[in-house]
Chain A
Amino acid sequence: GQQLNQSPQSMFIQEGEDVSMNCTSSSIFNTWLWYKQDPGEGPVLLIALYKAGELTSNGRLTAQFGITRKDSFLNISASIPSDVGIYFCAGQLSGNQFYFGTGTSLTVIP
């Protein structure tokens, strides 16, 4: 399967700080998605990106579809305790085949 490299693997930040994470691939994707997984739950879609260069926001979250179509970035501004969880990127090649990154575990220290 496709390999999506997500970094960093984990982050420990103070409440109020901004967060940046990214996802890279050797393949060109048509769609990039970002999910958040709360403990004990399934991933929930945060942001979907459909065009190279696209920048999309969802509240304090902003994600970008890389120009090369091989990467994507997620930023969280002014983090709060409920931002804790695992963040996954997912890329779509064709049809409904989505490939997931290995996840970034975020801990927010109050």
Chain B
Amino acid sequence: EAQVTQNPRYLITVTGKKLTVTCSQNMNHEYMSWYRQDPGLGLRQIYYSMNVEVTDKGDVPEGYKVSRKEKRNFPLILESPSPNQTSLYFCASSRGRSNYGYTFGSGTRLTVV
């Protein structure tokens, strides 16, 4: 089944403790992206990647890092999480330089206390 898989689905952590949210897609998509969803703000892009070793900032990149060492994986790294990063995170992928839109993962709900 074609899908984007994120782990974990739920995570509670403390301020300052580094964490990684993994994302993997099995569709051989070139484009991958991370979004965060907050009430009243919709989906805001954090980082995106056009291909292996090619990443760029989205609208809200502060406090996040990403890497794209392999085509299928696009982990999101929070080096020193803070409470304002409490949010629902989505990884997404799409094929090529297309306008077909993204296929989304099921989300990771992160709480930073």
Query: Does A31 make an interface contact (CB < 8 A)?
Result: yes
List residues 83-104 of chain B with CB under 8 A from any CB of chain A. 90, 92, 94, 97-104
List residues 56-113 of chain B with CB under 8 A from any CB of chain A. 58-59, 90, 92, 94, 97-107
Query: Does A59 make an interface contact (CB < 8 A)?
Result: no
Residues of A within 8 A of B98 (CB): 96
Task: With A1-B59, A41-B106 as known contacts, state yes or no: A48 contacts B99, CB within 8 Å.
Answer: yes
Task: With A30-B99, A31-B99 as known contacts, state yes or no: A42 contacts B105, CB within 8 Å.
Answer: yes
Task: Determine whether the beta carbon of B42 is less than 8 Å from that of A102.
Answer: yes
Closest 6 pairs between A and B when the two form their complex, measured CB to CB: A42-B104, A1-B59, A100-B43, A102-B42, A31-B99, A33-B101
Question: Which of A11-19, A71-79, A87-95 has 4 or more CB atoms under 8 Å from chain B?
Answer: A87-95
Query: Does B13 make an interface contact (CB < 8 A)?
Result: no
Across the interface, name the chain B residue whose C-beta is closest to A103.
Answer: B42
Residues of A within 8 A of B102 (CB): 45, 96, 98
Of the candidates B33, B40, B44, B107, which one forms a contact with A96 in the assembled complex, judged by CB atoms under 8 Å apart? B33
Task: Determine whether the beta carbon of B107 is less than 8 Å from that of A41.
Answer: yes
Query: Does B50 make an interface contact (CB < 8 A)?
Result: yes
Q: What interface size band does chain B fall in?
A: 20 to 34
Across the interface, name the chain A residue whose C-beta is closest to B100.
Answer: A48
Task: Determine whether the beta carbon of B107 is less than 8 Å from that of A50.
Answer: no
Residues of A within 8 A of B104 (CB): 42-44
Q: Which residues of A pack against B, CB within 8 Å?
A: 1, 4, 6, 30-31, 33, 35, 40-45, 48, 50, 88, 90, 92, 95-103
Across the interface, name the chain B residue whose C-beta is closest to A33.
Answer: B101
Task: Determine whether the beta carbon of A45 is less than 8 Å from that of B101.
Answer: yes
Q: Report the bound CA distance from A90 to B50 in whole Å.
A: 19
Task: Determine whether the beta carbon of B107 is less than 8 Å from that of A95.
Answer: no
Query: Does B34 make an interface contact (CB < 8 A)?
Result: no
Residues of B within 8 A of A45 (CB): 100-103
Query: Does B41 make an interface contact (CB < 8 A)?
Result: yes
Residues of B within 8 A of A101 (CB): 42
Across the interface, name the chain B residue whose C-beta is closest to A102.
Answer: B42
